[in-house]
Amino acid sequence: MRFIQKSIIRKLLLYFTSLLLLLAGVAVYFYYSGNVVILPLKVVLIILGIFLFIALFIYYFEIFKPLKSILFQMQALLTGKPYQRIYTDRIDEIGVLAYFFNQVTKGFKEVSSDLKDRERMIDELTIAAELQRGILMKENPIVQGLQIVAKNKPATEVGGDSFSIITVKDKTYIYVGDVTGHGVSAGLIMTMVNSLINVFADVYDSAFDIVVNVNKYIKRHVKKAMFMTMVMLAFDHKTQKMTYVGAGHEHIIVYRAASGECEAILSGGIALGMVPDNSKAIKEKEIYLDDGDFVVLYTDGLTEARNTEGEMYSLDRLKASVKEYAAQYSAEGVNYHVAQDVSGFMSKDKQEDDMTLIVIKRDSKNNEEIKDHSTAWNG
């Protein structure tokens, strides 16, 4: 919109100045012609009448009518009624008003469209979050011979961390997984993997077979850029042995009660969805546990959590925290205090990734009772 180049006030002043010049010219003419008394009065009246007509014409068509049209549209906007865009090529004050109205209403339409899109997205996220909460484990189960406490804290409405504890026949499967990224797409893959594991746990008798078959399905139905790391433990109630299968996930932390030492075992393997067949890339191995020993599973949301200086929590800090609290507490206490330690390290810094922490203690006689079975994060 160009700046005002033709002003209504300037236009009226031009007409008024022209009238004065015309009147002055007529007065001079009649003065020198000797007809000063009668004719000038008639001529002045005629000219005044013409000027009045022109002024009214200009006022009505140049000011009143277009201004009324603009005010009508403004009133419609303010009262919530339908309004229309004002079309004009004027570059005076009326044109400025019309341009201003058009720009404001255009902005309203854009904001209204954005709000509708945002409301739709919020509704979809709410539904997705509700579906995910319905699938994810809500309470930690009681497993003979083990204390198991799993806690989860998603970074967004829909998280990408997957975890569950499933007891089928004589085995209990404990797993944690992490989809690349977070948000809706990660949450959908997480939900898919969680459902598949629950189905395949009823079909196959080993963690190895479950992970291999989940991978086959994921690879066929997920985009190349999306994959999921995972580690699965299997506790055999008959043999009292624990094994694990890694799929490119984080370390497994093991605390030895007898020595008070803490070690980190690389889970190994390759992430789900990266190759069509991962059977040659993964192995099922045993973790030797005595009474009082701990096994800790986690996602990188913990080790990569940052403080205000940008420093990461790190695997070393996590090991040190587990070592400190495992000597004093049950699985529930270790989970609680480690979560508090991570949250305290982050301080008020924003959580950037989903966090899941699973603490398992070998307790053959189930001497210690878990009080809080909720999977909600304690930190």
Is 375 among the domain residues? no
| C-alpha dist (Å) from residue 247 to 135, 210, 265 | 22, 12, 13
* Lowest-confidence segment of 46-60, 166-180, 243-257 by average pLDDT: 46-60
3-state SS of the chain is CCCCCCCHHHHHHHHHHHHHHHHHHHHHHHHHHCCCCCHHHHHHHHHHHHHHHHHHHHHHHHHHHHHHHHHHHHHHHHCCCCCCCCCCCCCCHHHHHHHHHHHHHHHHHHHHHHHHHHHHHHHHHHHHHHHHHHHCCCECCCECCEEEEEEEECCCCCCCEEEEEEEECCEEEEEEEEECCCCHHHHHHHHHHHHHHHHHHHHCCCHHHHHHHHHHHHHHHCCCCCCEEEEEEEEECCCCEEEEEEEECCEEEEEECCCCEEEEEECCCCCECCCCCCCCCCCEEEECCCCCCEEEEECHHHHCCECCCCCECHHHHHHHHHHHHHCCCCHHHHHHHHHHHHHHHHCCCCCCCCEEEEEEEECCCCCCCCCCCECECCC
Is 247 among the domain residues? yes
Is 89 among the domain residues? yes
Please tell me whether residues 215 and 355 are part of one structural domain.
yes
CA pair distance 67, 92, nearest whole angstrom? 12
| 88-108 pLDDT, tens digit each | 776 666 667 777 667 776 765
Tell me the pLDDT of the chain averaged across its residues: 80
One-letter identity of residue 137: M
Mean pLDDT of 279-292: 95
Please tell me whether residues 84 and 170 are part of one structural domain.
no
pLDDT of residue 308: 85
pLDDT of residue 40: 53
Please tell me whether residues 325 and 277 are part of one structural domain.
yes
pLDDT of residue 43: 62
pLDDT of residue 243: 97
pLDDT at 211 exceeding the cut of 90? yes
CA pair distance 355, 184, nearest whole angstrom? 16
Give the rounded percent of residues in the chain with a pLDDT score beyond 90: 38
pLDDT of residue 20: 66
pLDDT interval class at 309 (50, 70, 90): confident
Q: Which residue has the higher pLDDT, 261 or 53?
A: 261
pLDDT of residue 3: 41
Is 195 among the domain residues? yes
pLDDT of residue 134: 58
Q: Which residue has the higher pLDDT, 152 or 5?
A: 152
pLDDT at 261 exceeding the cut of 80? yes
Give the rounded percent of residues in the chain with a pLDDT score beyond 70: 68
- By DSSP bridging, strand 261-266 and strand 355-362 are unpaired
Is 374 among the domain residues? no
Is 127 among the domain residues? no
Please tell me whether residues 230 and 185 are part of one structural domain.
yes
Beta bridge partners of 233: 174, 244
Name the one residue in this structure whose structure tokens are 């997920």.
222
Please count the structural domains in the chain: 2
Instruction: Indicate which CATH number applies to the domain containing 263.
Output: 3.60.40.10
pLDDT at 7 exceeding the cut of 70? no
Q: Which residue has the higher pLDDT, 375 or 120?
A: 375
Is 119 among the domain residues? no
pLDDT of residue 121: 53
Please tell me whether residues 103 and 145 are part of one structural domain.
no
Q: Which residue has the higher pLDDT, 183 or 294?
A: 294
pLDDT of residue 214: 93
**Contact at 8 Å (CB) between 354 and 182?**
yes
Please tell me whether residues 92 and 153 are part of one structural domain.
no
Please tell me whether residues 76 and 144 are part of one structural domain.
no
Please tell me whether residues 83 and 172 are part of one structural domain.
no
pLDDT interval class at 1 (50, 70, 90): very low
pLDDT interval class at 264 (50, 70, 90): very high
pLDDT of residue 132: 56
**Contact at 8 Å (CB) between 159 and 376?**
no
Among the candidates 111, 128, 147, a domain finishes at 111
Is 129 among the domain residues? no
pLDDT interval class at 15 (50, 70, 90): low
pLDDT at 4 exceeding the cut of 60? no
Please tell me whether residues 148 and 66 are part of one structural domain.
no
pLDDT interval class at 126 (50, 70, 90): low
Mean pLDDT of 242-250: 95
pLDDT interval class at 180 (50, 70, 90): confident
pLDDT of residue 13: 65
Please tell me whether residues 65 and 183 are part of one structural domain.
no
pLDDT of residue 22: 66
Domain that holds residue 191: 139-362
pLDDT of residue 14: 66
Please tell me whether residues 292 and 349 are part of one structural domain.
yes
Please tell me whether residues 356 and 257 are part of one structural domain.
yes
| 128-141 pLDDT, tens digit each | 555 555 566 788 99
**Contact at 8 Å (CB) between 256 and 279?**
no
